[in-house]
Chain A
């Protein structure tokens, strides 16, 4: 116990390194657990690919009737779709415990255990389980993007790659922030309604070019529920008429603001957590 406390309080960098070791141990445990069910990953890969095939079939059927959807070609829409899978995959990878957080951690009292440990409560909850299928989405999304990009004849320079590397995680922060905020609500009151599913269902429509939506919907998706930032705005760096290239880069601050806001709500909620006593 003494050693633990000492290690934890010797300045910021040592403390961070110490936390890093703890969380890699968490991750190691998770990998061991997953390796017991190797078949699941295979089945999951099939399910994700299957879902993509269907999504692409829907797009190609719709585009078989027209040359362009509101001025957007099939390949452009496909590129946005492919891009949207990168942040979605990253988000799915770390968000397993957001679902059913209220049941498992608050009603089930698992959060007591989390608070007893001298490391960040949010990172603990995130690191207790991962959804490996997120990796499938990242890989297959990249493949779709590569295919659509080649068809479009996009010139993909070092700068573009750097932008992609920055915007995809930033967009993932938008997803994570929104769902973390919803999850945090359960610290205040038990979420009997299930707020997450309707919000999750909006995701599939945030993959289309925003120009097909009416102004109120666009404003809503840009400022209220910022899902326009998970696919469309960041993707405009690569496709579209590129009148406002800096708009895509705004994804970065938007992601940071949404995520920090959610982390703030989380810690406010966690501080007023009263155990069920079980």
Chain B
């Protein structure tokens, strides 16, 4: 029993602090790796501005038509300035938590690089999560901040109703990063069983922004859809952090949202560990 506990606490006969040091090193590595490709992110700023601009016009027309028809001025519980803020914060958040772990993992499995990863003394899942954190740290500085500098003044984005909300929104997006990276990781694990997961990745690409609420807020949807989504982790990637920013969740509601988000993050990490264990059992590496 004590042997098992020791195995769990200090795998590979490494002290806990050494493990922490090791995994944190991957944050640094990923940060530096992405720093080398930073030029690519300049056009990314343009892309994100295009997304927000496009949605700005679509939603402006939508609200104008709604006002002309019924004169309420609100759609799905949001006013037009709130809606524009919703769109902008969604994309600003997305520029932070986004990563391509699923594709990277699938590539490692297909090219056989995974064999080398498997013999190294670390958990591949944990390493990939910390790499995702490193990538997001890079994104925060070199991508999210420039996007904010462009978008916030351009579309007169509303400020948060209370200064503390900025902190909670950031915390929420950090938890979103863990949830997003774990969903991505598990999707990438499909490559062990399917070899080619291009179709799956494409389906993910087109559906993710829809499921997380980036494209349309859930309050626009019929009741049954909102109920279904409330039992799934996707809304905690974007919809929940953005509604926190808008001040739609305050006091107990805010705490509850963050706690459920935390539970999803931990739960999906554990589930990811399980999925990994099962997937790795039948790994076939061709040559390499």
Contact = CB atoms under 8 A, between A and B. Distances in A.
A57 B39 contact: no
A65 B75 contact: yes
A49 to B, nearest CB: 10
Contacts of A214: 57
Contacts of A62: 58, 62, 216, 220
Interface in A154-207: 192-195, 197-198, 201-202, 204-205
B51 A201 contact: yes
B42 interface: yes
B202 interface: yes
Contacts of B222: 64
Contacts of B278: none
A50 B200 CA distance: 11
Nearest to A39: B196
A205 B210 contact: no
Interface string A21-58: 00000000000000001011001101100110010011
B51 A68 contact: no
Contact of A67 (B42, B46, B47, B69): B69
Contacts of A201: 47, 50-51
Contacts of A213: 57
Q: Is the interface of A mostly helix, strand, loop or mixed?
A: helix
A143 interface: no
B69 A47 contact: no
Contacts of A51: 202-203, 206-207
B76 interface: yes
Contact of A57 (B43, B50, B210): B210
A69 B61 contact: yes
Given A43-B199, A58-B215, A50 B39 contact: no
Nearest to A68: B65
Interface residues of A, number: 36
A212 interface: yes
Given A192-B40, A194-B40, A213-B57, A50 B47 contact: no
A64 B220 contact: yes
Q: Which of A43, A208, A214 has the most CB of B within 10 A?
A: A43
Interface string B185-229: 000000000001011101100110010000110001110000000
B66 interface: yes
Interface string A62-77: 1011111110000000
B37 to A, nearest CB: 9
A70 B64 contact: yes
Contact of A194 (B43, B62, B69): B43
Contacts of A139: none
A66 B69 CA distance: 7
A61 interface: yes
Contacts of B47: 197-198, 201
Contacts of B51: 201
A70 B62 CA distance: 7
Nearest to B61: A212
A47 B199 CA distance: 6
Contacts of B42: 193
Contacts of B198: 40, 43-44
A217 interface: yes
Nearest to A133: B202
A61 B57 contact: no
Contacts of B75: 65
B267 interface: no
5 contacts: A58-B210, A62-B62, A195-B43, A201-B47, A212-B61
Interface of B: 39-40, 42-44, 46-47, 50-51, 53-54, 57-58, 60-62, 64-66, 69, 75-76, 196, 198-200, 202-203, 206-207, 210, 215-216, 220-222
Given A46-B199, A193-B42, 11 more contacts: A40-B196, A54-B207, A61-B221, A62-B216, A197-B44, A198-B44, A201-B47, A204-B54, A205-B53, A212-B58, A212-B61
The 4 closest A-B pairs by CB, nearest first: A43-B199, A205-B54, A212-B61, A51-B206
